[in-house]
Amino acid sequence: MRRKLAAGNWKMNGLAANLTELDAMKAAAAADKVDVLICPPATLISRAADAAAGSSIAIGAQDCHANASGAHTGDLSAAMLADAGASHVITGHSERRVDHSDSDADVAAKSQAAFDAGLIAVICLGESLAQREAGDTLDVIGTQLAGSTPDSATAANTVIAYEPVWAIGTGKVPTLEQIAEVHDFIRAKLVARFGAEGDGMRILYGGSVKPGNADEIFAVSNVDGALVGGASLKASDFNAIITALGNA
């Protein structure tokens, strides 16, 4: 049985004052039916880890460098993020792939760096609207999955997130059939490559998940949770998503 995961990605949002939201998520997380992860901006990781101490909320980062240390001004290594209190790191988010030209090989290297530092990588995949309209979705996802996931990935160190680029922050959500098609495809590829470990990896859906659509998305086959952007900023929204996942 795969334990469900409700993950929040705060992106470039959040100052110290917003940690009160994290505090207000503790009660929902305490139901202990699902794993809960919040990925604040790197500036808040240490304070978020302190704020979450004693609760079941895990803290993650949104990106890491592929190298362990060195002359990379402005970058952060996976070991630094772990040292600050992170247990997870998102790799290959489409905003990194677009804004910072992260390739599949970059994402694999960052994910390997995460494993080496003892972090769990949340590896993101997703097609653009043009790719979906051209009928290329499964080809794109298959290529990204193969190229972005290190050979050393296991059920314990890897979470996959399927996030159609056109559904992120837009309020547009794929049909449940479209979500099922991609999640089932990812599961088959993971099992073919990693066997039982691939069967144990969580596959999250991301892209405009809200309290109002969480129930139906969580009922879809091979959806083991969500990676949530906008609706993870406020405890009132994210708690409802945590509860929906716990009831799924």
Which residues participate in catalysis according to the annotation?
93, 163
Q: What are phi and psi of 223, to 5 degrees?
A: -95, 110
Single out the segment in contact with ligand PGA by CB under 6 A; choices: 18-26, 29-37, 135-143, 162-170: 162-170
Distance in Å, CB of 70 to ligand PGA, minimum: 29
Q: Is 40 in the site for ligand PGA (CB under 6 A)?
A: no
Q: Is 168 in the site for ligand PGA (CB under 6 A)?
A: yes
Q: Is 228 in the site for ligand PGA (CB under 6 A)?
A: yes
Q: Tokens 């999955």 appear where?
A: 145
Burial of 172-211, coded b for 16+ CB within 10 Å and e otherwise, reads: ebbeeeebbbbbebbbebbeeebeebbebbbbbbbbbbbe
**Position among 163, 182, 201, 202 found at the interface with ligand PGA (CB under 6 A):** 163
Between CA 59 and CA 65, with CA 63 as vertex, the angle to 5 degrees is: 125
The rounded distance, in Å, linking the Cα atoms of 177 and 217 is: 10
**Position among 14, 40, 174, 207 found at the interface with ligand PGA (CB under 6 A):** 207
Residue number, nearest CB to ligand PGA: 229
Q: Is 121 in the site for ligand PGA (CB under 6 A)?
A: no
Single out the segment in contact with ligand PGA by CB under 6 A; choices: 14-22, 129-137, 189-197, 226-234: 226-234
Q: Is 164 in the site for ligand PGA (CB under 6 A)?
A: no
DSSP per-residue codes, 39-74 = E--GGGHHHHHHHHTTSSEEEEES--BSSSSSS-TT
**Position among 9, 91, 111, 158 found at the interface with ligand PGA (CB under 6 A):** 9
**Position among 62, 206, 225, 243 found at the interface with ligand PGA (CB under 6 A):** 206
Q: What are phi and psi of 12, to 5 degrees?
A: -90, 55
Which amino acid, 78? A
Which residues contribute to the site for ligand PGA (CB under 6 A)? 9, 163, 168-169, 206-209, 227-231
